[in-house]
C-alpha cells in the first residue's frame, strides 16, 4: 500500500499496534501509558523515515524490523525508568552504585512491608 503522507502511514501503524495487542492478549486492556510512549516514539521514527525518503536518503519510508524493535526497546526502557523512579520516590526501593559503577536497586524496608501487606 502506498501512503500519501507520514500521518497516513503512522495511523496505519498505530492501528496495527492496537490490533496486535488485542489479538495477543484479548483479555487485557492496553496499558494507556505504554501506548502513549510507544506511539510517541513510533511517530518520531515514522517522521524521520518519511523525511529521509523525501530527500532521497532512503529507498522507502517504511520502517524496518530493527527500527520497530528499537522503538519497542526505547518505549520499554522509558516505562521501566518511570516505574523505578516512582518506586524510589515512594521509598519502596533503594538505589545505589556497586563497586563496578553499576546502578543497583533493592527493596527497602518500606517496600518489604508493602509487599507483605498485599500478600
Within-domain flag for 96: no
What pLDDT sits at residue 27?
Answer: 83
Distance from C-alpha of 71 to C-alpha of 23, rounded to nearest angstrom? 20
Within-domain flag for 108: no
Within-domain flag for 29: yes
Number of separate domains in the chain: 1
CA atoms 77, 8, 67, 27: torsion sign? positive
Within-domain flag for 118: no
Q: 8-17, 22-31, 90-99 — which is least confidently predicted?
A: 22-31
Within-domain flag for 12: yes
Within-domain flag for 110: no
Within-domain flag for 16: yes
Instruction: Tell me which residue range forms the domain holding 74.
Output: 6-90
H-state helical runs in the chain: 6-24, 32-54, 65-89, 109-118
Q: 84-94: per-residue pLDDT in tens? A: 999 999 999 99
**Overall pTM > 0.85:** no
**pLDDT above 70: residue 1:** no
**Residues 6 or more apart whose Cβ sits within 8 Å of residue 107:** 92, 93, 94, 115
Distance from C-alpha of 22 to C-alpha of 85, rounded to nearest angstrom? 29
Angle, helices 6-24/32-54, rounded to nearest 10 degrees: 140
> Which DSSP letter does residue 98 get?
-
Within-domain flag for 106: no
Backbone angles phi, psi at 20, to 5 degrees: -65, -45
Distance from C-alpha of 4 to C-alpha of 17, rounded to nearest angstrom? 20
Amino acid at each position: 500500500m502506498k501512503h500519501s503522507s507520514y500521518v497516513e502511514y503512522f495511523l496505519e501503524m498505530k492501528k496495527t499496534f492496537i490490533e496486535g495487542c488485542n489479538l495477543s492478549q484479548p483479555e487485557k486492556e492496553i496499558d494507556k501509558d505504554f501506548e502513549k510512549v510507544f506511539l510517541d516514539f513510533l511517530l518520531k521514527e515514522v517522521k524521520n523515515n518519511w523525511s529521509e525518503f523525501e530527500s532521497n536518503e532512503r529507498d522507502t519510508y517504511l520502517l524496518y524490523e530493527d527500527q520497530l524493535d528499537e522503538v519497542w526497546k526505547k518505549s520499554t526502557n522509558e516505562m521501566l525508568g518511570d516505574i523505578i523512579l516512582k518506586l524510589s520516590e515512594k521509598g519502596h526501593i533503594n538505589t545505589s552504585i556497586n563497586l563496578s559503577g553499576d546502578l543497583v536497586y533493592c527493596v527497602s524496608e518500606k517496600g518489604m512491608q508493602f509487599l507483605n501487606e498485599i500478600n
